[in-house]
Structure formats: structure tokens, C-alpha cells
């Protein structure tokens, strides 16, 4: 009895030693990981703690730089009290939602068509989608502004609602066609044998199976719209029509005076929903990107 406990103890001690030794071997690795993480994440941390500081402390570098002496939410209050802040927020939500829904629906159709149907020109269609996906926004905004002007749309939010899909549709179609080609065909055929129409079978059978891909496309579209700068600067006029991005900048970065507190509060606030969405769906997200980037 006593002997066996001794053996057990010895064995346990041995295990602990092995675990410790292994951990010690990992120390350089974890140090490297920590320093890389620090380099990549420090800006966010700095922005976040700046957003919690009073004006005076923001420009005061004495003491511990990585800590806040008098944390307060004053900058967030300033931000919310900005005239039109909630209008900009509403504009951003509105434009992002409309463009996301529009682009995802259109891309589901196009993506399904390219992945699943056999017709003349399908290869050409997939090439066109890929090429338009690669076209940077910087290439076409000058003529687009002119065209919007011709159509009497320049200046208001509809200008953004119809132009954002130009970069969202190619991306989502590409991503979704990759996704649809991996969804099995048989269930859809079974549904049709059971009497469903083809469209009915697609909607009731195939789409539910493809929902992770559709969700990825939607999250991506929403983020890209939320993130957009060039078109919202070029195609929209007037305080009332600003989005969060250019609205916040115009309010707190005037000529040479920058109000870093509210600016950092805005950065923190705008980043949190995106980061949360992404954490919730990370695996699909990463899978989606690489599927998009490699499988096409």
C-alpha cells in the first residue's frame, strides 16, 4: 500500500518534470509569439487606452505608458454628442445593409450558375468575375463619378448603394461559386424527383446547405462596405450624407487640430463589432478567404 503510493508519487513527479521540461523548451517559442503579437496588436491597445484618457493625459508621456491614470469615458460622450453622429451611423448601417443584401442575393444566383450549371460561356463568365474582382477601386472612380453625375445620382447615399456592389458582387460571386461547387448535387436531385421545381429545390435544399458560405459572403460584404473610404469621399456631398468614416474625420481632424481622444474612441467603437463578428465566425472566415484565394 505504502509502496504503491510512493510509486504513484514518483510517477507523478516524473510527469510534472517532463511537462516542465517541455514547457522550458517552448520558452523561446512563446517569447517570439509574444513579441510578434505585441508588434501587431500594440496599435490597437494604444488607440484603446488613448480613447480612455482625458485631453491632458493624452499628451503626457510621464509614468507608465501602457496604463491609464484616470480612465474616463469622456471621449465617447464627446463622440455621441457630436451633431449628426447618429445620422452618420444610420447612413453607414443603411448603406452597408442595403449593399450587402443586394450583393449577396445577386452573387448567390451568379455563383450557383457558374458552379453548377453547364451552358455556353460559363468559363468566360467565371473569368470575368475573377478579373472584376481584381480591378482596384482606384481604376474606375473618376468615370464612375461622371456617370453618377449624368444619372443625377451624385451626392446622395444611393450613389453608394449602387456603386458598392461593383466590388462586392465579384468578390461574393467568386467566394460562393467556390462554395457551391463543394455542396453535393444529389439532395437537390432527390427533391426534384419528389416533385419540387428546380428553383424550389435550390432554395429549399441547396441554399441551406451552403449557408456557411453565404454567411461568410455577407459578413465580408458588410465589413467591406463599413470600411469603404474612396467612394464615400468621391461620390457623396454634404454633412447629412456623410458616413461614419468621413464624418468622424471631418469633425475631429480639422486642418491642423486633431482631437485624438474622440478619434480613438471612434476607432475603437468601429472596430469592435467587426472584430466580434469575426471572432464568432473565425473558422469560416479564414476558410472562406483561402477558399476564395486559392480554389476560386
Task: Identify residues 85-124 at the interface with another protein (CB under 8 A).
Answer: 106-107, 109-110, 112-120, 122-123
Please give the Cα distance from 264 to 69 (Å, whole number). Answer: 17
Please give the Cα distance from 3 to 11 (Å, whole number). Answer: 12
Examine residue 257 and tell whether it contacts another protein (CB under 8 A).
Answer: no
Examine residue 157 and tell whether it contacts another protein (CB under 8 A).
Answer: no
Radius of gyration of the chain (CA): 26
Q: Packing angle between helix 74-81 and helix 260-280, nearest 10 degrees? A: 90
3-state class (DSSP) for residue 70: coil
- Using the minimum distance from each CB to another protein, give the nearer residue, 2 or 117: 117
Min. distance of Cβ 6 from another protein in angstroms? 31
- Which region, judged by CB under 8 A, interacts with another protein, from 6-14, 68-76, 208-216, 258-266? 258-266
- From the number of C-beta atoms within 10 Å of its C-beta (0-12, 13-18, 19+), residue 204 rates as middle
DSSP H or E run through 258: strand 257-258
3-state class (DSSP) for residue 254: strand
Examine residue 162 and tell whether it contacts another protein (CB under 8 A).
Answer: yes
- Which region, judged by CB under 8 A, interacts with another protein, from 7-15, 70-78, 93-101, 133-141? 133-141
Please give the Cα distance from 201 to 25 (Å, whole number). Answer: 56
Binding positions for another protein, 10-49, rule CB under 8 A: 26, 29-30, 32-33, 36-37, 39-41, 43-44, 46-47
Min. distance of Cβ 16 from another protein in angstroms? 16
Examine residue 9 and tell whether it contacts another protein (CB under 8 A).
Answer: no
Examine residue 203 and tell whether it contacts another protein (CB under 8 A).
Answer: no
Residue 97 CA neighbour count, 13 Å, CB half: 6
Please give the Cα distance from 157 to 94 (Å, whole number). Answer: 9
The residue count for binding another protein (CB under 8 A) is: 105
- Using the minimum distance from each CB to another protein, give the nearer residue, 44 or 86: 44
Examine residue 209 and tell whether it contacts another protein (CB under 8 A).
Answer: no
Per-residue contact string for residues 274-293; x = within reach of another protein by CB under 8 A: xx--xx--x---xx-xx--x
Min. distance of Cβ 155 from another protein in angstroms? 13
Please give the Cα distance from 69 to 225 (Å, whole number). Answer: 36
Amino acid at each position: 500500500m505504502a509502496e504503491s503510493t510512493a510509486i504513484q508519487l514518483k510517477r507523478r513527479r516524473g510527469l510534472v518534470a517532463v511537462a516542465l521540461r517541455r514547457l522550458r523548451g517552448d520558452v523561446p517559442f512563446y517569447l517570439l509569439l509574444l513579441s510578434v503579437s505585441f508588434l501587431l496588436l500594440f496599435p490597437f491597445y494604444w488607440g484603446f487606452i488613448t480613447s480612455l484618457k482625458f485631453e491632458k493625459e493624452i499628451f503626457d508621456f510621464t509614468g507608465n505608458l501602457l496604463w491609464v491614470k484616470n480612465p474616463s469615458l469622456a471621449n465617447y460622450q464627446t463622440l455621441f454628442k457630436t451633431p449628426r453622429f447618429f445620422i452618420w451611423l444610420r447612413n453607414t448601417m443603411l448603406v452597408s445593409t442595403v449593399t450587402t443584401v443586394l450583393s449577396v442575393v445577386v452573387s448567390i444566383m451568379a455563383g450557383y450558375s457558374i458552379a453548377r450549371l453547364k451552358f455556353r460561356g460559363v468559363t468566360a463568365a467565371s473569368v470575368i468575375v475573377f478579373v472584376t474582382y481584381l480591378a482596384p477601386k482606384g481604376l474606375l472612380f473618376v468615370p464612375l463619378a461622371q456617370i453618377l453625375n449624368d444619372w443625377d445620382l451624385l451626392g446622395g447615399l444611393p450613389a453608394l448603394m449602387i456603386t458598392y456592389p461593383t466590388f462586392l458582387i465579384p468578390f461574393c460571386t467568386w467566394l460562393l461559386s467556390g462554395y457551391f461547387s463543394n455542396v453535393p448535387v444529389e439532395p437537390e436531385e432527390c427533391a426534384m424527383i419528389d416533385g419540387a421545381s428546380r428553383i424550389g429545390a435550390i432554395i429549399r435544399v441547396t441554399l441551406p446547405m451552403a449557408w456557411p458560405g453565404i454567411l461568410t459572403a455577407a459578413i465580408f460584404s458588410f465589413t467591406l462596405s463599413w470600411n469603404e473610404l474612396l467612394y464615400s469621399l468621391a461620390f457623396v456631398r454634404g454633412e447629412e450624407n456623410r458616413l461614419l468614416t468621413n464624418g468622424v474625420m471631418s469633425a475631429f481632424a480639422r486642418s491642423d487640430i486633431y482631437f485624438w481622444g474622440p478619434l480613438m474612441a471612434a476607432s475603437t467603437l468601429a472596430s469592435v463589432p467587426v472584430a466580434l463578428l469575426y471572432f464568432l465566425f473565425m473558422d469560416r472566415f479564414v476558410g472562406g478567404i483561402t477558399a476564395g484565394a486559392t480554389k476560386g
